[in-house]
């Protein structure tokens, strides 16, 4: 079908992707008075719905610029969440519960990249913080400053409501097929809607928030999908108070006793959908090693998703190679953590005042073209 143009003299800023990052950026822009429209293909596939919601720059053992970005975002999250809750009237499920990273030996604990930010635990300390932890763990680090948010059941719903209350417009079931240029600059996008009609939306400014699918629109972006499978178990309400961040498996307890277990890391799976017996056995083995009693808790839900991964596992933030197109993509396993700072930075970039010197410094480490050697080989 031939494309038809939908023109407008005051076209809104387009957000390409309706997942967590797209909603976070849209909400921040709308609060500043910017007309915003979100194009979303299928909300359920967004990484924000499938992640465990850990806020864990220290427990993850991040380093360098990514650790700094994560720490800045962690500092902002309480205010960011309060803003969303005020705009939406809904709770986001934020829990500053602390995270414990267990180790087989004290020597392994002491060389962890972020050990300086944690409290060292011996076996007795582990048992105090994590009653019932498996016998294979003899040491640990407690990061009291890290926590979690119930992204799957609360944050995404609250953020969507907050966007609506701030006047953000949504087009659901819309797939962006192509970025359109005029004299090298973004001038619009070609989209296909749920009825298979193809049309053109004019826009001179857009933010690419398409997660693992971002490189389908801009092949020069080194973003690939990393599939992850997850499961949730229903346990007693007070059975586990801290998040356990084990090697290859993490256990995230919600307030109602639901235990979110994640996640496999399947780099060769591409966009292959569905659960696999191997992946589910891997999660079960992780539960048995970390918290043996939880292996007997009934499963409630099983799901999968695709993390958007770059070569250094850091996001792509700021301007792209195409004037008018901005990037908020490639957050890998730290999207929930980095949503607050990403929204702040992109909203600042797109404001009339522009970024501060400090914000420009944060963005510099996450330029899209920092992988020139990778791009040259692609």
pLDDT of residue 372: 74
Residue 5 tokens, joined: 């143009």
pLDDT of residue 354: 87
Q: Model confidence at 1, in pLDDT bands (50, 70, 90)? A: very low
pLDDT at 49 over 90: no
pLDDT at 4 over 90: no
State mean pLDDT over 189-205.
Answer: 96
* Cβ contact 147:70 at 8 Å: no
pLDDT at 26 over 50: yes
Domain boundaries in the chain?
A: 4-71+154-222+312-377, 96-147+224-308
pLDDT in tens, 218-263: 999 999 999 999 999 999 998 999 999 999 999 999 999 999 999 9
How high does pLDDT run on average in the chain?
93
Q: Assign 3-class secondary structure to 335-369.
A: HHHHHHHHHHHHHHHCCCCCCCHHHHHHHHCCCHH
Topology annotation, domain 4-71+154-222+312-377: FAD/NAD(P)-binding domain (3.50.50)
DSSP line for 297-332 = SPEEEEEEEEEEE-TTS--EEEE-SSTTEEEEE--G
pLDDT at 74 over 60: yes
pLDDT at 9 over 60: no
Q: Model confidence at 6, in pLDDT bands (50, 70, 90)? A: very low
pLDDT of residue 50: 83
pLDDT at 7 over 60: no
For residue 160, is it left (φ>0), alpha (ψ between -120 and 50) or beta?
A: alpha
State mean pLDDT over 168-197.
Answer: 96
- pLDDT over 70, % of the chain: 95
pLDDT of residue 375: 47
pLDDT at 168 over 70: yes
pLDDT in tens, 355-377: 899 999 999 999 999 987 544 44
Residue 279 tokens, joined: 């992946």
Topology annotation, domain 96-147+224-308: D-Amino Acid Oxidase; Chain A, domain 2 (3.30.9)
State mean pLDDT over 278-301.
Answer: 97
Q: Model confidence at 42, in pLDDT bands (50, 70, 90)? A: confident
Q: Output the pTM of the full model.
A: 0.94
pLDDT of residue 282: 97
Per the model's pLDDT, the better-predicted residue between 63 and 354 turns out to be 63
**Furthest-apart CA atoms within the chain: distance in Å:** 69
Q: Model confidence at 10, in pLDDT bands (50, 70, 90)? A: low
Instruction: Identify the sign of the CA torsion 357, 359, 360, 364.
Output: positive
* Residue partners of 268: CB distance under 8 A and separation at least 6: none
pLDDT of residue 48: 72
pLDDT of residue 11: 80
pLDDT of residue 139: 98
State mean pLDDT over 326-333.
Answer: 97
How far apart are alpha carbons 208 and 329 in whole angstroms?
7
How far apart are alpha carbons 58 and 100 in whole angstroms?
10
State mean pLDDT over 103-129.
Answer: 98
């Amino acid at each position: 079908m031939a494309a038809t143009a939908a023109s407008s003299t005051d076209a809104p800023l387009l957000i390409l992707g309706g997942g967590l990052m797209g909603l976070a950026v849209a909400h921040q822009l709308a609060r500043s008075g910017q007309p915003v429209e979100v194009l979303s293909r299928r909300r359920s596939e967004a990484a924000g719905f499938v992640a465990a919601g850990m806020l864990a720059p220290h427990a993850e053992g991040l380093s360098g610029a990514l650790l700094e970005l994560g720490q800045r975002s962690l500092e902002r999250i309480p205010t960011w969440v309060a803003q969303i809750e005020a705009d939406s009237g809904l709770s986001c499920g934020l829990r500053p519960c602390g995270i414990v990273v267990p180790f087989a030996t004290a020597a392994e604990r002491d060389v962890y990249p972020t050990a300086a930010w944690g409290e060292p635990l011996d076996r007795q300390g582990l048992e105090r913080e994590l009653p019932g932890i498996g016998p294979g763990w003899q040491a640990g680090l407690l990061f009291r400053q890290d926590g979690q948010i119930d992204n799957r059941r609360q944050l995404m719903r609250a953020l969507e409501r907050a966007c609506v209350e701030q006047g953000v417009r949504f087009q659901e079931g819309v797939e962006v097929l192509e970025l359109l240029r005029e004299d090298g600059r973004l001038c619009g996008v070609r989209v296909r809607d749920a009825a298979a009609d193809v049309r053109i939306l004019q826009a001179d400014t857009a933010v690419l928030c398409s997660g693992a699918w971002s490189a389908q629109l801009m092949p020069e972006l080194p973003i690939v999908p990393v599939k992850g499978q997850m499961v949730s178990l229903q346990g007693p309400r007070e059975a586990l108070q801290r998040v356990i961040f084990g090697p290859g498996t993490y256990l995230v307890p919600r307030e109602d006793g639901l235990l979110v277990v994640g996640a496999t890391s399947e780099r060769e799976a591409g966009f292959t959908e569905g659960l696999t017996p191997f992946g589910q056995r891997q999660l079960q083995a992780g539960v048995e090693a970390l918290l043996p009693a939880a292996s007997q808790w009934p499963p409630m839900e099983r799901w999968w998703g695709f993390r958007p991964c770059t070569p250094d596992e850091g996001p792509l933030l700021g301007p792209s190679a195409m004037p008018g197109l901005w990037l908020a993509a490639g957050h890998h396993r730290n999207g929930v953590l980095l949503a607050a700072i990403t929204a702040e930075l992109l909203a600042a970039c797109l404001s009339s005042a522009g970024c501060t010197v400090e914000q420009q410094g944060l963005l510099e480490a996450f330029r899209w073209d920092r992988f020139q050697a990778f791009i040259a080989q692609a």
